[in-house]
Chains A and B, each alone.
Chain A
Amino acid sequence: MTGGGFRAGIPVGRLALMAYVLLMLALLAFPIGLLVVASFQGGMKSTSGLDGWSLSAYAAVPPDYWGALWFTVECAFLATALVFVVAIPAAWGLVRGNLRERRFVSALVLLPDSVPSITLGIALLALFVPLGLSNSFAGIVVALTVTSLSLALRFTEALLEGVPEELEQAAVTMGASRVTAVVTVVLPLLAPGLAIAALFIFVQNLVAFELLLFIAGPRATPISVRLFTDIVDRGVLPQAIAMSAILVYIGIAFHTLVAMTVGARYLAGSTMSRKG
């Protein structure tokens, strides 16, 4: 293999290292595999043997779980669209204007990421209750938008720096306004990169949990919060396990999609933060 072996002779150290790595990864994969297996056994009744495989847990998933899942998708989608509406002009201004406050703005939008979710959640709740935004679709979209702003801005800034300013200037020289030049020349060049960034941010919004716990309520329940309140109030339900397994399939689908579009190495090294 590549990477240079251990010293000649029986590679005991190397074999032990490989065994350790495989063991660790197996331990990490085991609980999730268990969840998927349990979802096909109608709950947690018969976890031994292959008999009793059924889809009953999936059939028992109540409509309000599907509603919560769809609600989460809608919020995540809208927040992803909104964050780019805000981030693309900002990134363009910061990169092309070469503004002195660039570092300050980066630090400012990074603030929601560096403050713990629980604190930001409580703070947003304190602000949203008088505004009537808590326990609402709009409140959740706003919360998701602000927490993904730093990621969107960083992605867009990096992409913009790869597009030569001369292209824009050429369009302006030929009579286009600067905004037209950006929309017709720069944005199409950014589009593939932005699509990947949007995919990352969408997934992050889809799995957001601890922050939303404070803002969510009976009228606005993302699926993660719903599963959480169910396990706290009613214990482990078969239909909740089935829904968790469905979320695992969605995660695997996203992983496959990202791995196919950008290559798996980005997934290993990416600093996509996951809080709670």
Chain B
Amino acid sequence: MKFTIYQESRIGTRQINQDRVAYCYSRDALLLVIADGMGGHAHGEMAAQIATNHITTLFQREARPHLPDPMFFLSVAIEGAHSEICAESERQGLPENPRTTCVVCVVQNGVAYWAHVGDSRLYLVRDGKILSQTRDHSLVQTLVDSGSLTMEQARRHPSRNRIFSCLGGQQEPQIDFSRKTPLVDGDILILCTDGVWGPLEDDLCPQIAYTNVLNSVPRLLNEAEQRAGKSSDNLSIIAINWEEDEEGELICYSDMPTMPMDVYTMPPQGGQQNANASLSDNEIEEAIEEIRNSIKQNLPIRN
């Protein structure tokens, strides 16, 4: 089993990045998590941070090296994250609980399992089409489902950001679970926040299908950011290319030159952080050129 992974979290035009993304893996199991702390509620980023911390920590404890029951893990992990947020909020005496969405995916023995709360999404892309996708816990999604709103109207709806299930809320979160979904060679799994899927709408899948996520995802984020313009929300994504290979250890390819500060990445358990520190002459020249260009754009014109 091999996979190529790319994760990135951008702040968009906001002042705070309230998204958190994380992945980790053991020899047999892979965990992907995205949480989008809710603005409008205080400390959304705190809720997102607690959720990703809690879920990844639990994974590292339980995946030794495989999870006895991935579905059960998802339910315990997500409910646990909710309790943690409430407990932390009470401990700090916050007037209101911080809240977050989350989508969590486990891949083990070539089978994917996922669960979500709120409007952060998971897509499974196979043969250029969306094979499966999560259904937002949002007001507009409910209206679309009942036929009282078209997709087009939903996109423009003033309350499109309102969700009815989250972690940290007054009520217990409503968690939706996927079916056990065996992955096949070439599958692409995407987890993302609404800052990514919102602006891209139906173009998300075509832009990522049949590509290497290391190349397509940064472009995808650029596109989303550009379309959102001055009101770009935080954008976060984790995507993997799944490659069927002979059975065996999980092999991970990733290309993360630097770790963006808002990304919470658990170091892969037992794995080595393979810093690829070769640097060609060309790469050095390119880096310098890029920096010089930014300087030029930013400098006032000298007399």
Whether A associates with B in a native complex is no
Interface residues in chain B, defined as those with a beta carbon under 8 Å from any beta carbon in chain A: none
